[in-house]
Chains A and B, each alone.
Chain A
Amino acid sequence: MFFKDIPIRRKLMRGIVLICGMVLLVTCISFFGYELYVFRKSTKEKLSTIGKIIAANSTAALAFDSHEDAKEILAALRTEPNIVSAALYDQNGKLFSWYPANRDIREFPEKPGTMQFRLSHNFLEGFQPVAQDKKQLGYLYLKSDLGGMYERFRVFGVVAAFVIILSFLLAWLLSKLLQKSISNPILALAETAKMISEQQDYSVRAVKLGQDELGSLTDAFNNMLTQIEQQNLKLHEFNQNLEMKVKERTIQLESVNKELEAFSYSISHDLRAPLRGIIGFTTILEEDYSSKLDDEARRITAVIRNNTLKMGHLIDDLLTFSRMGRQDIIKTIVHTDQMIEEIIREVVPENRMGKISWVLHPVPDVQGDINALRQVWINLISNAVKYSGNREQPKIEIGSVRERGQTVFFVKDNGVGFDEKYKDKLFRVFQRLHSADEFEGTGVGLAIVEKITSKHGGRVWAEGTLNKGAAFYFTLPDF
């Protein structure tokens, strides 16, 4: 758990307590150090003072060689429990008297050394000259332990520990109170934010609790909310506007569609009727006035008839094309194999049936509009038949492959094929790549195929080589 992830409350409290702790620690250490220094100094001074007193008192003892007196004087050091040992040396530096009396002489220095009191191995020891009226009579040796210091520091330690604990408690309590004033507003703000985003209610505002930075944060937050609210309103309006527009457009489209429907409906009646008339009466002419018509006349009437027929086909195809575009596809399961067989029987003229060799691979069932798909297969198969009509051995192959997760249906023929560079034009309305003299056709068939396949969510494309053959592929989405 990183420091930055700890809740603010705890962060503040820990921070304050830590700082207090450090301050206390530093203070205590400094005091401790100072105390140590002062204590050492005062101990040295005390020792020095005691030394001086003892020395002053023991001048006579040294002057008059009174061991007893010296012993007695040194014995007075008993009252100072920290003084471990003491000794008097005569003028010649020889040990004169020592304290405590029962101590082994060898524990005392042989002869006087440095005159300063020094710390050595946890003891304070040193020498003091014993002089009467500037006359050096001998030396005093004092050795003191640091018990006093340890005692003192023990007391100090206990007091310090007590103070530190108390201070910590106080700091903890105060910090607990203090952090509230900082963390509470923050938490309140965070809570408000959470609530707002959960309930998506942007009309709620956070309460401003003070004029400090948190106050400004709250203001900014509230401003943001206002903006969000307004933007939401705008979006909503915009959405509604859009929806209205869409509705309008849809209504327009629908009415246009209806118009088109009515249009094509009337076409299918009104355009056909005159054509019927033309052909009908031309035939009457041919039949009833055959004796009066020469060959040329008969050729002319044939031309009239053919053109009229063509027009009829064109109208049919256009109507189909238009219908395919308008109608919604009604999806059912289509048994493609069956359909193909039926279509072949329908579409192929009797006289050609025998010539064509069919290669029919099993083709999977699909889901789609039965009539529309029928139209697709009719167009593709009849094209294949038509364009391989001039071959000696026309061969048409129908099947499907599985490619990249989709079923690709194909109709291949070995007919005249087409020039690949025009293949983009294949599926456009009224675009033909062969003249009407070579092959009859309206140029709408493939456009219809393209429209139907794309309505189903698939696509159609073709490959061809001039005079070798053509292959038409289309995909339908899986179901």
Chain B
Amino acid sequence: MNPNSVEVLLVEDNINDAELTIRELRKHHMANNLFHVKDGEEALDFIFGTGKFADSRDLLCKPKVVLLDIQMPKVNGIEVLQKVKSDARTRATPVVILTSSKEDPDIQKCYDLGANSYIVKPVNFESFAEAIKNLGFYWLLLNQQPT
């Protein structure tokens, strides 16, 4: 896949969760331009065109939404969020926190850092599926992106 045509960047270390998320999005035909990275470091490399993606990424081509998990090895979601939202080039990119944590401090911190949305991954699959569907519809189809 062309890194520059990514619409959805899924940052998720749990492969099961990743699989389930991708499956649902695919169900609704929203996974065509989905790129999955497994940790924060990769995510940052992708977003800022560094490391692995040093050559291949054009920063002007921004994904439509970043689905970001918090608990990740190496660089966790909070850091990624912070970096994304503090850089002028990437600030406008919508970041949806998709995580298991219902803890208030996390929620608060993410919003403080500029997260656009905070979704708790429900254990119940139906709800999960519903959540993903809504996410997809909203951010990929409904939401107007800045150019």
Contact = CB atoms under 8 A, between A and B. Distances in A.
| Chain A partners chain B | yes
A276 B99 contact: no
A279 B103 contact: no
Interface stretch (A69-77, A123-131, A265-273): A265-273
A253 interface: no
Nearest to A311: B123
The size class of the interface chain A forms with chain B is 20 to 34
A272 B121 contact: yes
Contacts of B14: 273, 277
Interface stretch (B16-24, B47-55, B110-118): B16-24
Contact of B20 (A265, A280, A305, A316): A280
B123 A276 contact: yes
Interface string B14-51: 10110110010000000000000000000000000000
Interface centre among A280, A281, A284, A319 (most CB of B within 10 A): A280
B123 A284 contact: no
Contact of B124 (A265, A281, A312): A312
B102 interface: yes
Nearest to B27: A287
A279 B123 contact: yes
The size class of the interface chain B forms with chain A is 20 to 34
Interface string A310-354: 001000100100000000000000000000000000000000000
Nearest to A371: B104
Contacts of B86: none
B101 interface: yes
B100 interface: yes
A214 to B, nearest CB: 72
B102 A268 contact: yes
A275 interface: yes
B101 A275 contact: no
A312 B124 CA distance: 8
Nearest to A315: B123
Contact of B123 (A265, A266, A275, A281): A275
B128 interface: yes
A91 interface: no
Contact of B103 (A268, A273, A281): A268
24 contacts: A268-B100, A269-B70, A269-B100, A269-B101, A273-B14, A273-B16, A273-B17, A273-B100, A275-B123, A276-B20, A276-B100, A276-B121, A276-B125, A277-B16, A277-B20, A279-B128, A280-B16, A280-B17, A280-B19, A281-B16, A281-B20, A305-B125, A312-B124, A319-B102
Closest A-B pairs by Cβ, 5 of them:
A312-B123, A277-B16, A280-B20, A279-B125, A272-B100
